[in-house]
């Protein structure tokens, strides 16, 4: 044994490395100066022998290779050797194993490789590193001319962390990482590890237990049954959507969103394979946005709603190239793409990010705040700078890498409310149920995405009546301070109320009339999106058409009326795939849904297609969605008739009258007030026979009458088909029509005056005749009375019948 080498050994330090307990393995391993020589120490568990290969070049084409045998200092596989000269790094290892036919040649791991700079670490610790996903995680790179992968992971409470993978037989003793003591970040650059290698972090915690964890910042996950992280190169795609990206920073305009789940298109569906089908559909139906479900990897949740990694793509439905292609093609055809982001919780799995380094890094340590009691998932520990920074970085990562146009933050109630579905909960510092840390995170998230200045929108889902969610420019400063900062909010209340009303038999709808109108009481509180989403048809609920009352003809009629109300009610719109074609199946996220459309479904699909395109062409139905100038009730109180009606307007004052009859009876002459005198004509109706309707509604123009109704001075008489929706255009009378109407009015008034004059003259003549007759009768009475008094023949015979008759006649005349 070389005594010089022996005397240079730190035997306590070697024991730490051999037992994989070294916090700073770089202090021993690798090259260090020993006088005028360089001491090289290496640990290769199970190695039979190790030598140092020195490559020195002489001349231009000749090479000379020298190998120096290293001495085994510990039979576990610890070797050391000396190279003449100081600061020698021009070597590689040649390692021989008994169970391998050929020696393994590898580069030094503990060389002078800087994975993170001090500035990087300072920024990460401050919580302001928006590109933290480019710092932490695994990144293929070249350092000092050597190509490999730089690994870095935050595990401040770990005793030791190692990179394990298929490149080191998952042996945690080989690649022990280097700890930065002030940050708790472990780093290591491993030469030769490139894209495609599987890896995890082996974390030794206090007590000696070893945990195997995925990389929270991994960009790729192992396919199949395994759950390892995968080293991957940076995403590269040749984008062609530059004009779209440059132009989208303007106003968003009308949003008509088509929500899709790739797996629902078939077992082998990918983003690329469904691109043409989706594009054809959205263009035919008039959608201008596609919303895709969470695309992040979840080992036990393929839909991405409880992701294990916020940065790894779920490649069961396609690669990065596939999804980039999908987005690029959509943009080329004027279609925006929105992604759902689940960042309130993550799944509980053996190698996930829960209890990551033996402590609760990413979730709250108290289960009353760290566990979603509704799903059992772990809730992110918002308020922790490292956690907030990671999630914000994830949002920015997906937007930038995939050129997304919007992010919808899902299932926010569990984030906002500390008592959400909890019997035991911890109030905030003020004793209330608001999660103050989550609120601050959400505000930062929105500001970060909006600071991009590229027109990317954010949407809030499931906020459960939280106030001040969406931002408007005319907010007061106090309201702006409270506001969460989203562009739009999903209106869950509309769904719950209106679908509940529609599922009720029309005979009983009068008792639920408030459900159909209550949404208009708060429709301007937020910038709402009315959403018929996958959550409305999942968990065995069945397609919406199956839940409508009545026979199949009635079911489709009810559904047509529902869509009419949905599309003309103020607010942007979203529809889940298949529900615009009346698919009957529930959505489970695994099975492909949809079937060959029957005749009724085809008619319904044609109806929705025509309805959406009609709404897109008429600004009155969307331009002032978020202004009270764009909507006015005509009648919202006819509960017994199950009829509602309202006006939609655009900024130029153009009006459309919307009438819905939710009763399963027709009304031949339904009187309805209107705000203007003029003519109303059906422009669109669900009752068309081509859509499966009765055909009772006609396109005949209906003129107003100057008769008060519903609080208006003018009214119309309409024919309403059962379970129908109709839109009427308004047309003011022309000058010629007004002149003719005025002439007719004057003639009518003249006729009325003439008739009145004649009635008055006739009445006068009748009065004169009556007075004349009265005078004549009174004269005769007087003469008769005088004759009696004068002793006429009647006075002699008191019992004479003629006398009695005359007396009776006189009595009658006097009464008259």
Sign of torsion over alpha carbons 662, 668, 671, 672: positive
DSSP notation for 673-732: EESSSSEEEEEEETT-GGGT---------EE-BS--BTTBSEEEEEEE-TTEEEEEEEEP
Question: What are the backbone dihedrals phi and psi of residue 218, each rounded to the nearest 5 degrees, phi first?
Answer: -65, 145
Q: Note the pLDDT tens digit of each residue in 695-704.
A: 998 777 899 9
Measured from the Cβ of residue 272, the count of other Cβ atoms closer than 10 Å reads: 17
Supply the pLDDT for residue 59: 40
Q: Cα 95 to chain center, whole Å?
A: 55
Task: Give the closest residue to 642 by CA, choosing from 716, 705, 549, 541.
Answer: 549
Q: Note the pLDDT tens digit of each residue in 663-709.
A: 999 999 999 999 999 999 999 999 999 999 999 987 778 999 989 99
Q: Give 514's contacts (C-beta < 8 A, 6+ positions apart).
A: none
Q: What's the count of helices (H) and strands (E) in the chain, helices before strands?
A: 18, 36
Distance CA 447, CA 486 (A): 9
Supply the pLDDT for residue 814: 56
Question: What are the backbone dihedrals phi and psi of residue 159, each rounded to the nearest 5 degrees, phi first?
Answer: -80, -40
Supply the pLDDT for residue 475: 85
391 class by beta-carbon count within 10 Å (0-12 exposed, 13-18 middle, 19+ buried)? buried
Of 76 and 226, the structure prediction assigns the larger pLDDT to 76
Instruction: For residue 564, give both structure tokens.
Output: 């009419």
pLDDT at 440 over 80: yes
**Which stretch of 166-180, 181-195, 305-319, 499-513 has the lowest confidence by average pLDDT?**
305-319
Task: Give the closest residue to 720 by CA, choosing from 701, 705, 698, 692.
Answer: 698
Question: What pTM value is reported for the model?
Answer: 0.88
Distance CA 376, CA 354 (A): 12
Largest alpha-carbon pair distance within the chain?
181
Distance CA 158, CA 166 (A): 23
Distance CA 437, CA 430 (A): 13
Measured from the Cβ of residue 626, the count of other Cβ atoms closer than 10 Å reads: 18
β-strand partners of 143: 146
Instruction: For residue 732, give both structure tokens.
Output: 């003011």
Distance CA 275, CA 118 (A): 45
Distance CA 439, CA 416 (A): 7
Distance CA 356, CA 479 (A): 39
Supply the pLDDT for residue 63: 57
Sign of torsion over alpha carbons 337, 343, 345, 350: positive
Q: Which helix (H) or strand (E) holds 447?
A: helix 436-450
Distance CA 182, CA 121 (A): 9
Measured from the Cβ of residue 617, the count of other Cβ atoms closer than 10 Å reads: 9
Mean pLDDT over 549-568 rounds to: 97
Q: Note the pLDDT tens digit of each residue in 14-67.
A: 999 999 999 899 999 999 999 999 999 999 999 999 999 997 654 444 456 789
Instruction: Give the dihedral of Cα atoms 193, 195, 197, 202; nearest 10 deg.
Output: 70
Sign of torsion over alpha carbons 366, 372, 373, 375: negative
Distance CA 561, CA 4 (A): 92
What is residue 206's DSSP assignment?
A: T
Residue matched to tokens 């009610």:
569
Alpha carbon separation from 490 to 133, 412, 531 (Å, rounded): 29, 11, 6
708 class by beta-carbon count within 10 Å (0-12 exposed, 13-18 middle, 19+ buried)? exposed
Q: Note the pLDDT tens digit of each residue in 294-345.
A: 999 887 777 888 888 899 999 889 999 999 999 999 999 999 999 999 998 8
Supply the pLDDT for residue 266: 87
Q: Please, are residues 334 and 287 in contact by the beta-carbon 8 Å criterion?
A: no
Rg (CA), the chain: 42
Of 778 and 91, the structure prediction assigns the larger pLDDT to 91
pLDDT at 376 over 90: no
Q: Note the pLDDT tens digit of each residue in 178-189.
A: 999 999 999 999
β-strand partners of 257: 289, 574
pLDDT at 497 over 60: yes
């Amino acid at each position: 044994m070389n005594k010089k080498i022996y005397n240079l050994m730190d035997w306590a330090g070697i024991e730490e490395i051999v037992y994989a307990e070294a916090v700073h393995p770089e202090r021993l391993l690798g090259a260090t100066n020993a006088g005028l020589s360089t001491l090289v120490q290496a640990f290769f568990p199970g190695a039979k022998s190790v030598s140092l290969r020195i490559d020195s070049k002489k001349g231009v084409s000749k090479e000379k290779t020298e190998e120096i045998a290293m001495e085994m200092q510990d039979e576990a596989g610890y070797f050391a050797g000396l190279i003449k000269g100081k600061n020698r790094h021009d070597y590689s290892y040649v390692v021989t194993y008994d169970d391998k036919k050929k020696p393994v040649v590898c580069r030094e791991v503990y060389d002078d490789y800087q994975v993170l700079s001090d500035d990087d670490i300072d920024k990460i610790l401050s919580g302001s590193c928006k590109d933290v996903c480019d710092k932490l995680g695994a990144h293929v790179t070249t350092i000092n001319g050597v190509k490999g992968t730089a690994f870095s992971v935050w595990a401040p409470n770990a005793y030791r962390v190692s990179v394990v993978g298929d490149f080191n037989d998952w042996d945690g003793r080989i690649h022990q990482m280097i700890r930065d003591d002030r940050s708790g970040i472990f780093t290591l650059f491993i030469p030769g590890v490139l894209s495609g290698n599987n890896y995890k972090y082996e974390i030794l915690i206090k007590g000696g237990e070893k945990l195997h964890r995925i990389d929270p910042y991994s960009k790729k996950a192992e396919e199949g049954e395994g759950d390892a992280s995968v080293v991957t190169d940076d995403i590269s795609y040749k984008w062609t959507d530059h004009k779209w990206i440059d132009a989208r920073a303007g106003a968003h305009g009308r949003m008509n969103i088509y929500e899709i789940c790739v797996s629902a298109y078939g077992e082998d569906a990918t983003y690329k394979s469904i691109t043409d089908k989706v594009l054809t559909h959205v263009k035919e139906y008039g959608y201008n946005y596609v919303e895709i479900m969470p695309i992040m990897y979840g080992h036990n949740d393929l839909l991405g709603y409880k992701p294990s990694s916020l940065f790894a793509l779920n490649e069961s439905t396609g690669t990065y190239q596939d999804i980039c292609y999908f987005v690029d093609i959509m943009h080329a055809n004027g279609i925006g793409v929105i992604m759902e982001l689940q960042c309130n919780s993550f799944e509980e799995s053996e190698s996930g990010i829960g209890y990551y380094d033996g402590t609760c890094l990413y979730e709250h340590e108290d289960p009353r705040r760290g566990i979603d009691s509704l799903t059992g998932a772990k809730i992110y520990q918002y308020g922790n700078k490292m956690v907030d920074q990671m999630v914000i970085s994830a949002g920015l990562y997906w937007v930038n890498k995939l050129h997304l146009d919007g992010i919808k933050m899902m299932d926010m109630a569990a984030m906002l409310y500390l008592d959400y579905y909890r019997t035991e909960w911890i109030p905030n510092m003020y004793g209330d149920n608001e999660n103050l840390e989550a609120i601050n995170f959400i505000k930062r998230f929105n500001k970060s995405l909006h600071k991009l200045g590229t027109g990317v929108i954010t949407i809030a889902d499931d906020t459960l009546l939280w106030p001040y969610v969406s931002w408007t420019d005319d907010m007061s400063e106090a309201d702006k301070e409270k506001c969460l900062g989203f562009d739009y909010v999903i209106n869950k209340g509309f769904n719950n109320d209106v679908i509940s009303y529609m599922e009720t038999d029309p005979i009983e709808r009068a008792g639920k009339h408030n459900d159909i109108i209550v949404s208009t009481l708060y429709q301007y509180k937020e910038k709402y999106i009315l959403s018929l989403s996958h959550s409305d048809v999942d968990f065995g609920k069945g397609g919406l058409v199956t839940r409508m009352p009545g026979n199949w003809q009635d079911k489709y009629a009810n559904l047509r009326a529902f869509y009419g109300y949905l599309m003309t009610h103020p607010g942007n719109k979203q529809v889940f795939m298949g529900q615009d074609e009346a698919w009957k199946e529930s959505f489970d996220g695994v099975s492909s849904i949809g079937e060959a459309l029957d005749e009724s479904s085809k008619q319904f699909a044609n109806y929705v297609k025509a309805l959406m395109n009609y709404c897109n062409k008429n600004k009155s139905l969307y331009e002032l969605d978020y202004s009270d100038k764009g909507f006015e009730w005509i009648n919202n109180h006819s509960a017994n008739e199950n009829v509602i009606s309202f006006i939609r307007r655009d900024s130029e004052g153009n009006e459309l009258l919307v009438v819905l009859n939710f009763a399963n009876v027709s009304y031949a002459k339904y009187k309805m007030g209107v705000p203007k005198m003029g003519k109303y004509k059906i422009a669109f109706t669900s009752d068309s026979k081509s859509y499966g309707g009765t055909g009772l509604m006609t396109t005949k123009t209906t003129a107003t009458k100057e008769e008060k109704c519903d609080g208006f001075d003018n009214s119309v008489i309409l024919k309403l088909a059962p379970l129908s929706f109709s839109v009427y255009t308004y047309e003011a009378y022309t000058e010629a029509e007004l002149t003719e109407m005025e002439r007719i009015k004057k003639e009518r008034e003249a006729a009325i005056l003439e008739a009145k004059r004649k009635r008055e003259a006739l009445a006068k003549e009748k009065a004169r005749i009556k007075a004349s007759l009265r005078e004549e009768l009174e004269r005769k009475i007087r003469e008769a009375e005088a004759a009696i008094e004068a002793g006429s023949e009647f006075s002699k015979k008191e019992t004479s019948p003629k006398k009695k008759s005359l007396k009776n006649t006189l009595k009658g005349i006097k009464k008259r």
